[in-house]
Amino acid sequence: MPKFIRDGCRLRRIEAKGCVWWASHILLGLALVVNDALPVKAVSLSQVIPRRKIIVVDPGHGGHDLGAVGPSGLAEKVVTLSVAQKMQDILSGTYEVHLTRNDDYTVDIEHRTAQANHHRADIFVSIHAGGGFRHQARGVIVFYQSPCTGPGSKPSQQRRGPWEIREKPLPWDCIQEVHRAKSQALAKLVHRHLLGKVSPEDRGVREAPCLVLRGADMPATLIEIAHLSHPSEERELRKPEVVSAAAEAICEAIKEYFTSTLDSQQDEAYAPSALSTF
| Contacting residues toward Zn ion, per CB under 5 A | 60, 67, 128, 130
Between CA 69 and CA 77, with CA 74 as vertex, the angle to 5 degrees is 70
Q: Which ranges of the chain does DSSP label H, i.e. alpha helix?
A: 2-37, 45-48, 76-91, 109-118, 176-194, 231-237, 240-259
The amino acid that residue 135 corresponds to is H
For Zn ion, the closer CB: 77 or 86 = 77
Distance of closest approach, residue 48 Cβ to Zn ion, in angstroms: 42
Q: Which residues of 168-199 are buried (b: 16+ CB within 10 A; e: fewer)?
A: eebbeebbbbbbbbbbbbbbbbbbebbbebbb
Between CA 168 and CA 174, with CA 170 as vertex, the angle to 5 degrees is 140
Distance of closest approach, residue 148 Cβ to Zn ion, in angstroms: 22
For Zn ion, the closer CB: 123 or 141 = 141
Q: Which residues of 7-19 are buried (b: 16+ CB within 10 A; e: fewer)?
A: eeeeeeeeeeeee
Q: Which residue from 183, 157, 155, 159 is spatially nearest to 170, judged by alpha carbons?
A: 155
Distance of closest approach, residue 164 Cβ to Zn ion, in angstroms: 43
For Zn ion, the closer CB: 185 or 212 = 212
For Zn ion, the closer CB: 185 or 226 = 226
Residue closest to Zn ion (Cβ): 128
- In whole angstroms, what is the distance from residue 244 CA to residue 241 CA? 5
For Zn ion, the closer CB: 128 or 197 = 128
What percent of the residues of the chain are helix, what percent strand, and what percent coil, each to the nearest 5? 45, 15, 40
Distance of closest approach, residue 261 Cβ to Zn ion, in angstroms: 32
For Zn ion, the closer CB: 130 or 139 = 130
Distance of closest approach, residue 182 Cβ to Zn ion, in angstroms: 23
Distance of closest approach, residue 129 Cβ to Zn ion, in angstroms: 7
